[in-house]
A = this chain, B = another copy of it.
């Protein structure tokens, strides 16, 4: 079987100008980055503000397992299938982070015959957006420490700085560090730490901004920590929002590429869905909706994380409608949810599959709670048996649930035709009755409890003493009306990654919160969530190489 990169290297890409022309973009509306990548003008949303939006299809999934669901692959495959049906579809995806690329096998560029290309660039530096975010984040850190070193006019308490440095790398030793050692030439010592870039509030801001102007206004509102009087200190107090916005002037422009079947794809912004809000940028999704009749976009991990944040944070900030949802499931992952060990997944096991269906059922209930039409997509793997896929199909059909078997990895858009037809139908039926899970006026505690009970299926939440104090303080500061962004393991509906299937009788432990006032939400950390990953024993980087004549090997 060919690897993703072998398939990618045999593809024939169109010049990106042809893809742009196919979207009726004029020459001034895009800039080339190499022959197959482009940046779109950040002014398109303004230009097309009176044009009706295309239909927005959200792709989400069951809780992921090491077996993989291929949510990005289905997203790409569905976009390709819609195009094969003669519809004008545009795909909107997140940009991969270099940390996981170097750490674990698996990118965010889809796979097989449903990939976005050039995958080797998309998975490495792409057009530099993550680097620009890293620079802006760390320029702010340097300005904070320089301010303290140079007299600390703002009276910043070095013990209460919430703003961390970032690096787009999996690097556990940077989680907790001490900086400023070695005497007066080396600044004022304090405890600090690095997050991975995709967890930076600047990433969230970039993804939730609707213009350069909005970006700057949000950056100005970032709370970097507190003074000795326990008053919030903001970026605007440091007068650095202009420079930070300048560093992001190109990063805010959505990136245009194409799939292996030449379907246009806008790839922009890449927060993780476990420790951040997990969606590509509003500018990408809304620009795609202006350029296409259908937008296929994904939100990270399962519906408990990505979809919840897409519906309660992103689509609220972006003021757009979601027209239909695809819930991706795989036989392999459902068998794991049914208790099968990873090594035994290639054996047929309908009983385990049946037991694992409760995970899918929970996510279906969640999407129904939001009142959105949906289709279940079974993403086919070569080891699936017809008894297994047939079981899922009958299970859905007997409940009146739309279901489609997709084979987009092996067959590209052709393998997603059935899904495309069913999803078109869903976008055309009037069964949509969208309602958000919570209103902004509710208290932070209520918002967290609603998510935990309704989406995760928890009995209740348990707030740590620190979290309780933070809620009081945040509400005093006027931040109580913000949505919440849950940081929770992706592997379980609960906050314990070992509880697969559909856990019951659990509580969600809320350890602490962090105000992302610029992004416009409060991050709520559950369990042991860390905002900087580590590398595995044998990192994927060990297999990567580039030959003397420039051919890339080992990148998945």
Which chain A residues have a beta carbon within 8 Å of chain B's beta carbons? Answer: 31-35, 39, 42, 98, 102, 121, 124-125, 128, 131-132, 134-135, 138-139, 141-143, 145-146, 149-150, 167-182, 185-190, 192, 211-213, 216, 239-240, 242-243, 245-247, 249-250, 530, 534-535, 537, 539, 541-542, 544-546, 548-550, 552-555
- Contacts A138-B171, A142-B535, A213-B548 given; does A541 touch B33 at CB 8 Å: no
Q: State A138–B121 Cα separation when bound (angstroms).
A: 19
Q: State A189–B549 Cα separation when bound (angstroms).
A: 40
A523 to chain B: closest CB distance in Å? Answer: 19
User: Cβ of B170 and Cβ of A175 under 8 Å apart?
Assistant: no
User: Cβ of A172 and Cβ of B143 under 8 Å apart?
Assistant: no
A537: nearest chain-B partner, CB-CB = B150
The contact sample of 15 A-B pairs, CB cut-off 8 A, is A32-B33, A102-B142, A125-B132, A138-B169, A138-B171, A142-B535, A143-B541, A146-B535, A149-B534, A176-B186, A185-B530, A212-B548, A245-B546, A246-B545, A246-B555
A240 to chain B: closest CB distance in Å? Answer: 6
User: Cβ of B185 and Cβ of A171 under 8 Å apart?
Assistant: no
A252 to chain B: closest CB distance in Å? Answer: 10
User: Cβ of A102 and Cβ of B243 under 8 Å apart?
Assistant: yes
A42: nearest chain-B partner, CB-CB = B550
A250: nearest chain-B partner, CB-CB = B125
Q: State A213–B167 Cα separation when bound (angstroms).
A: 28
A550 to chain B: closest CB distance in Å? Answer: 6
Copies of this chain, complex-wide, total 2
* The 8 residue pairs across chains A and B that have the minimum distance between CB atoms: A242-B545, A176-B182, A131-B131, A173-B187, A243-B541, A173-B180, A243-B544, A213-B548
Q: What secondary structure prevails in chain A residues at the interface with B?
A: mixed
Chain B CB within 10 Å — which of A177, A180, A190 has the most? A177
Q: State A42–B549 Cα separation when bound (angstroms).
A: 10
Kindly identify which residue among B188, B243, B249, B534 contacts A542, using a CB–CB cutoff of 8 Å: B243
Known: A31-B34, A142-B173, A212-B549; 14 extra A-B contacts, CB below 8 A, are A32-B34, A33-B34, A125-B131, A135-B169, A139-B169, A146-B534, A149-B173, A173-B187, A239-B542, A242-B545, A242-B553, A243-B541, A246-B555, A249-B550
Interfacial chain B residues near A128, Cβ < 8 Å? 125, 128, 131
Interfacial chain B residues near A171, Cβ < 8 Å? 138, 141-142, 145
Q: State A250–B173 Cα separation when bound (angstroms).
A: 29
User: Cβ of A546 and Cβ of B249 under 8 Å apart?
Assistant: yes
User: Cβ of B211 and Cβ of A548 under 8 Å apart?
Assistant: yes
- Contacts A131-B131, A245-B546 given; does A172 touch B150 at CB 8 Å: no
Interfacial chain B residues near A541, Cβ < 8 Å? 139, 143, 240, 243
Chain B CB within 10 Å — which of A39, A189, A541 has the most? A541
Interfacial chain B residues near A187, Cβ < 8 Å? 172-173, 175, 534
Q: State A545–B42 Cα separation when bound (angstroms).
A: 17
Q: State A61–B207 Cα separation when bound (angstroms).
A: 46
- Contacts A33-B33, A125-B132, A138-B167 given; does A240 touch B542 at CB 8 Å: yes
User: Cβ of A173 and Cβ of B185 under 8 Å apart?
Assistant: no
Q: State A245–B102 Cα separation when bound (angstroms).
A: 13
Q: State A246–B139 Cα separation when bound (angstroms).
A: 27
User: Cβ of A135 and Cβ of B173 under 8 Å apart?
Assistant: no
A188 to chain B: closest CB distance in Å? Answer: 7
Interfacial chain B residues near A245, Cβ < 8 Å? 545-546
- Contacts A128-B128, A149-B172, A186-B175 given; does A143 touch B243 at CB 8 Å: no
Chain B CB within 10 Å — which of A188, A216, A539 has the most? A539
A121: nearest chain-B partner, CB-CB = B250
Q: State A546–B214 Cα separation when bound (angstroms).
A: 12
Interfacial chain B residues near A169, Cβ < 8 Å? 135, 138-139, 142
A182: nearest chain-B partner, CB-CB = B176
A102: nearest chain-B partner, CB-CB = B139
User: Cβ of B142 and Cβ of A135 under 8 Å apart?
Assistant: no
Interfacial chain B residues near A124, Cβ < 8 Å? 246-247, 249
User: Cβ of A181 and Cβ of B186 under 8 Å apart?
Assistant: no
Kindly identify which residue among B175, B182, B553 contacts A175, using a CB–CB cutoff of 8 Å: B182
Kindly identify which residue among B142, B188, B211 contacts A170, using a CB–CB cutoff of 8 Å: B142
Q: State A145–B509 Cα separation when bound (angstroms).
A: 31
User: Cβ of B178 and Cβ of A546 under 8 Å apart?
Assistant: no
A324 to chain B: closest CB distance in Å? Answer: 35
Q: State A124–B39 Cα separation when bound (angstroms).
A: 17
A183: nearest chain-B partner, CB-CB = B176
A105 to chain B: closest CB distance in Å? Answer: 13
User: Cβ of B168 and Cβ of A552 under 8 Å apart?
Assistant: no
A128: nearest chain-B partner, CB-CB = B128
User: Cβ of A98 and Cβ of B135 under 8 Å apart?
Assistant: yes
Interfacial chain B residues near A185, Cβ < 8 Å? 172, 175, 530, 534
Interfacial chain B residues near A537, Cβ < 8 Å? 150
Chain B CB within 10 Å — which of A141, A187, A246, A548 has the most? A246
User: Cβ of B246 and Cβ of A552 under 8 Å apart?
Assistant: yes
- Contacts A181-B178, A182-B175, A552-B246 given; does A535 touch B32 at CB 8 Å: no
Interfacial chain B residues near A125, Cβ < 8 Å? 128, 131-132, 135, 247, 250
